[in-house]
Structure formats: structure tokens, C-alpha cells
Structure 1
Amino acid sequence: MRYFPVFLDLNKKAVLVVGGGEVACRKVDMLLRAGANVTVVSPNIHPHLLSLSEQQALLWVKAFYQSEMLQDYIQVWATTDNPQLNHQVHHDAKQKNIMVNVVDDKPYCDFITPSMINRGRIQIAVSSGGASPVLIRYLREKLESMLPQNLSLLADFGASKRNSIKESLASVDERRKFWERFFSSAKIPTITKREQLESLYLDTLQDKVEVTSVLHWIQFNHDVENLSIKALRLMQESELVLYPANCPFEFVDLCRRDADREEYQDIHHLAGLIEKAKANKLRVCIFTANDPIASEMKLLMGNDKLIKIAE
């Protein structure tokens, strides 16, 4: 992984953009949507930026860039068509420990901007680290076609219930399982109004489910693409992931990001980990590679759920 993915809070933060052309327009629009206080330095600017300046959406400094201008900014963008000037901006920013991006010049970038999909509060970022922009555009188009348009509505509703649901469901596990049932409802894809969500919310809340331990056994092989959709869903729901040393990282990495992960040494070690998981009422994903272990697993797990992925 060449770049560490992160979402920056730029709301009311000072950001400097050097250059006023079409490239600057794209970056400024993105920064303004994030709530940044944008200053553009350029002797001339694009009509779109001029309009934003007249609306006081940004500050236009009508001048050539000077090193002394780098004061109190947390982020700097160099967007001119003059490589020498862009590199000077980069040098000045580094001297002041300010994060800088020289557009389309990756060696002079502390960060890069991914391809973004926005659905209100929901943001999805896709990047190849600058290696293949066309491929990333293709992936973004595929994702755009798959994601429902009501995601923004769903996110706003979920945010509005973060405090009130605690009055009905005391534990984190209960609330997580509630939201899993809520968002997996067959009605969700067709909902377009908040009133419909409110009705579904109340119906789901009345159908309380006791928190219990659930164990899922997934037999892996050499190809992660053999995983079924059901297996992927169960892996994403797991709170604990148990795997042997020979389990490819690609399988473990597809599990829920905040799940605890633990490598087991043998069947006896695994048995102890399973007992602890049951005592703590955890949802567990257990990876195994061979049938001898699998047969012993059936004895260990009793009537718990078993999911096997064919090789």
C-alpha cells in the first residue's frame, strides 16, 4: 500500500491554491464542498473562480505567487502550468511543514486525491496510487451503477437515531444487530421518504433479537475469488476472525475491518478460542484449509452454523 487512505476534516480550515485555471477550478470546487476556507493566488483566474470570488465563496489574491504568502495554511495546491513555479511552491511548503499537492506531478505530492463517489454523508474513495486513472474511472462507474440513490437518505436517518436508539437498546451488540436487520430489510432499496424509514424503524425495533454467539466455518483455498456472496456477508458480520498460519492474507483482509483477528496453532488451540468466543457471545468466522480439521470442527461446533466454500 503506497498511500495511507484518510479523510481530512477541512471544514473552516485555510487552504491555498496557487494557480487560477481549469485545473484549479476542479480542486477549488472539491475543497469548497468540504467546507475549506480557500484562497486562490493568481494574477488572472478562470471565470468560474471569478464568479465564486464575487460571491465571497473564496478569497482571490490577484498577484503572482511569493514564498511569503505561505502563512497559516494547513494545505497547499500547486495547479499552474509552470513546473518550475509548482516545484517552488512545493519547496516552500516543505520548509514550513505544510502538506502540498503538485497536480499531475506525483513525486511532488504529500497526498493524492482519489476518485470520489458522493451520496450525502456517504463517501467512497477509489485510488490506484496514480498508477491507472482510466481503470479507476471504470471502477467508479461500476460502483456508481451499483449503489442505490437513497444512500444519502439512509445515512441521514441513521445519524438522527444514534442517540435515541440507546433508550431502547442498551448494549452496543444489540444496537449493531438491530441496524444489520434494519438495513438488510427488503424494503430498504425502494424507500424514498423519511416517513417510510421511520415506519420500518419502529417495526424492526419491536422485533428484538437476543444476542447469542454464532460460529461460521469457511474453508479457504488458493483463490479468494471462489468466495461466495454469502460467505463474504458472514465475514463482514464477524466480530472475531480465527485463522491458521497458512491462510492467505487476502481472505482475512476481506473480513470486517474492526473484527479481532487471532491465529490458531492447532485444533486444541482453536477449541479454546471457540469456547471463549461462545462465552462472550461473539459472531465468529473460522477459516480452515483441510477436511481432517473440518471433520473435527463439526464435533467442536455442534449445531452451530457451518459454511463451506468449495475448492
Structure 2
Amino acid sequence: MRYFPIFLDLNNKPVLVVGGGEVACRKIDMLLRAGAKVTVVSPKVHPHLQHLAEEQTLLWVKSFYQSDMLVDYIQVWATTDNPELNHRVHDDAKKKNIMVNVVDDKPYCDFITPSMINRGRIQIAVSSGGASPVLIRYLREKLESILPQNLAMLADFGASKRNSIKQELATVDERRKFWERFFSSSQISTVDERSELESLYQDVLNNKELVTGSLTWVEFGQDVEMLSIKSLRLMQESELVLYPENCPFEFVDLCRRDADREQYDDVNQLASLIKQAKADKQRVCVFIEKDSTSMELKLLIGNEVVIKVAQ
């Protein structure tokens, strides 16, 4: 992984953009949507930027860039069609430890911008590290076609219930499992009114379930793409992931990101970990090698269901 994915809070933060052409327009529009206080330095700007300046949406400094302009900014963008000027902006920013992006010039970028999908509070970023923009555009189109348009409403509804749900359900685990039941409801994808969400919320809340643990066994092979949809769903619900040393990382990496992950060395250690997890009422995913014939493992599994992974 070349780049560390991160979402920056630019709300009311000063950002400098050197250059005022079409490239600058695209970057500035995104910066303004994030709430940044944008200053543009350029003797001429695109009509769109001039309009924004007249509306006082951004500050336009109508002059050529000078090194002493680089004061108190947390981020700098060099967007001109002059590589020499862009590199000078980069050097000035580095001297002052300011993060800088020289557009379409990766060696001079501290960060790059991904392709974005926006659904209100929901943002999905996709990047190839600049390696294949066409592939990323293809992936974005695929994601846009399958993501429901009501995601923004769902996110707003969830945010509005953050305090009230704490009064109804005492523990983090209870609240997590409630939201999992709520968002996995078959009605969610077709809801387009907040009143419908409120009704569903009350229905799920009144149909409370005890906080219980679960144990899911998933056989792994060499091809992670052969995992079933059910396997992936249960892996994403698990709070603890147990795996042997020879389990390919691709399988473990598909599990819930905030789950505890622990490698086990033998059956006895695995039995001890499972015993403790059951006592803690955790949802556990255990990876075992495909076609395992170990008698000890069979005794440990007992009547539990193993999800088969066809290879």
C-alpha cells in the first residue's frame, strides 16, 4: 500500500491554490464542498472562479505567485501549466512543512486525491495510487450503479439517533447488533421517507434480542474469491477472528476491520480462545484449513456448522 487513506477535516481551514485554470476549478470545487477557506493566487482565473470570488466564496489574489505568500496555510495546491513554477511552489511548501500537491506530477505530491462517491455524509474514496485512472473510473461507475440513493438519508437518520439509542440499549455491543438488524432489514433499500425509517426503527427496537455470541467456522483455500456471500456476511459480523499461520492474509483482511484478530498455533490454544470468547458472548469467526481431517479439530467443532469454501 503506497498511500495511507485518510479523510482530512478542512472545514474553515486555510488552503492555497496556485493557478486559476480548469484544473484549479475542479480541485477548488471539492475544497469548498469540504468547507475549506480557499485562496487562489493567479493573475487571471477561469470565469467560474471569478464568479466565486465576486460572491466572496473564495479569496482571489490577482498577482503572480511569490514565496512570501506561503503563510499559515495547512495545504497547498500547485495547478499551473508551468512545471518550473509548480516545482518552486513545492519547494517553498516543503521548507515550511506544508503538505503540497502538484497536480499530475506524482513525485511532487505529498498526497493524492481519490475518485469520490458522495451520498451526503457517506463518502467512498477509490484510488489506484495514480496507476490506472481509467480502471478507477470503471470501479466508480460500478459502485455508483449499486449504491442506493437513500444512503444519505440513512446516515442522517443514524446520526439523529446516536443519543436516544443509548437510553434504550445500555451497551455498545447491544447497540451495534441493533443497528446491524436495522440496516440489514429487507425494507431499508426501498425506504425514501424519514417517517418510514422511524417506523422501522421502532419495530426493530421493540423486537429486542438478547445479546448472544456465535461461532462460525470458515474453511479457507487459496482462492479468496471463492468465498460465499454468506461467509462474507458472517465474517463482517464477527468481533473476534481466529486463524492459523498458514491462512492467507486475504481471507483475514476481508473480516470486519475493527474485529480483534488472533493467530492460533494448535487445537488446544484454539479451544482456550473459543472458550473465553463464548464466556464473553462474542461473535467469533474461526478459519480452518480446507478439507481438514484432524480428529482433534473434529471433536472441537462438535455440532458447529462449518461453512464450506468450494475451490
Q: Are residue 286 (structure 1) and residue 300 (structure 2) matched? A: no
Partners of 1:217 and 1:287 within 8 A in 2: yes
CA deviations over 1:30-76 (Å, ceiling 9, x no partner):
00000000000000000000011111100000000000000000000
Change (3 A) 1:293 1:16: farther
Distance 2:215 2:9 in 1: 38
* 1:294 Cα deviation from its structure 2 partner: 6.4
Tell me the CA shift for residue 296 of structure 1. Answer: 4.0
Q: What SS is found at the alignment partner of 1:219?
A: strand
Distance of 1:290 and 1:204 partners within structure 2: 37
**Aligned length, in residue pairs:** 311
Match of 2:245? 245
CA distance in 2, matches of 1:34, 1:160: 21
Mapped partners of 1:42, 1:162: distance in 2: 45
Q: CA deviation at 1:307?
A: 1.7
Deviation at residue 196 of structure 1 after TM alignment: 0.4
How far apart, in 2, do the equivalents of 1:68 and 1:293 lie?
71
Report what 2:44 is aligned to: 44
For residues 304 and 168 of structure 1, do their structure 2 counterparts lie closer, same or farther at Cα, with a shift above 3 Å needed? Answer: farther
- What is the deviation of 1:212? 1.2
| 1:308 CA drift (Å) | 2.0
What is the CA-CA distance between 1:293 and the residue it aligns to?
5.3
Q: How does 1:111-126 map to 2 (within 5 A)?
A: 111-126=111-126
Instruction: Provide the residue aligned with 2:209 in structure 1.
Output: 209
Partner of 2:221: 221
Q: Distance in 1 between matches of 2:46 and 2:77?
A: 16
Helix, strand or coil: the match of 2:8?
Answer: coil
- 3-state DSSP of counterpart to 2:152: helix
Q: What's the CA shift for 1:297?
A: 3.9
For 2:75, the aligned partner's letter is: Q
- Give unpaired runs (5+ residues) of structure 2: none
Question: What is aligned with 1:195?
Answer: 195
Give the SS at the match of 1:76.
strand
State whether residues 153 and 194 of structure 2, in contact with CA within 8 Å, keep that contact through their aligned partners in structure 1.
Answer: yes
Please report how far the alpha carbon of residue 213 of structure 1 lies from its aligned counterpart in structure 2 after TM superposition. 1.4
8 Å CA contact retained: 1:239, 1:258: yes
Q: Distance in 2 between matches of 1:143 and 1:290?
A: 32
1:185 alignment counterpart: 185
**Distance (whole Å) between structure 1 residues aligned to residue 269 and residue 310 of structure 2:** 25
CA distance in 1 between counterparts of 2:303 and 2:73 reads 60
**One-letter identity of the residue aligned with 1:52:** L
- 1:264–1:270 contact (8 Å) kept in structure 2: yes
Aligned match of 1:232: 232
Residue identity matched to 2:40: V
> Is 2:213–2:283's contact at 8 Å kept on the other side of the alignment?
yes
Once the two structures are TM-superposed, the CA of residue 138 in structure 1 deviates from its matched residue by: 0.3
Return the alpha-carbon distance in structure 1 between the equivalents of residues 292 and 220 of structure 2. Answer: 14
CA separation in 1, counterparts of 2:94 and 2:303?
61
Residues 1:305 and 1:212: Cα distance change in structure 2 (over 3 Å): farther
State yes or no: 1:300 paired with 2:303. no
Please give the alpha-carbon distance, in whole angstroms, between the structure 1 residues aligned to 2:232 and 2:282.
17
RMSD over aligned Cα, in angstroms? 1.1
**For residues 21-170 of structure 1, what are the structure 2 equivalents within 5 Å?**
21-170=21-170
The amino acid of 1:61's aligned partner reads V
The answer to whether the Cα contact below 8 Å between 1:121 and 1:155 also exists between their aligned partners in 2 is yes
Structure 2 residue identity aligned to 1:40? V
Q: Secondary structure at the match of 1:81?
A: coil
Task: Give me the whole-angstrom Cα distance separating, in 1, the residues matched to 2:171 and 2:300.
Answer: 29
> Could you tell me which residue of structure 1 aligns to residue 264 of structure 2?
264
Q: Which ranges in structure 1 are unaligned for 5 or more consecutive residues?
A: none
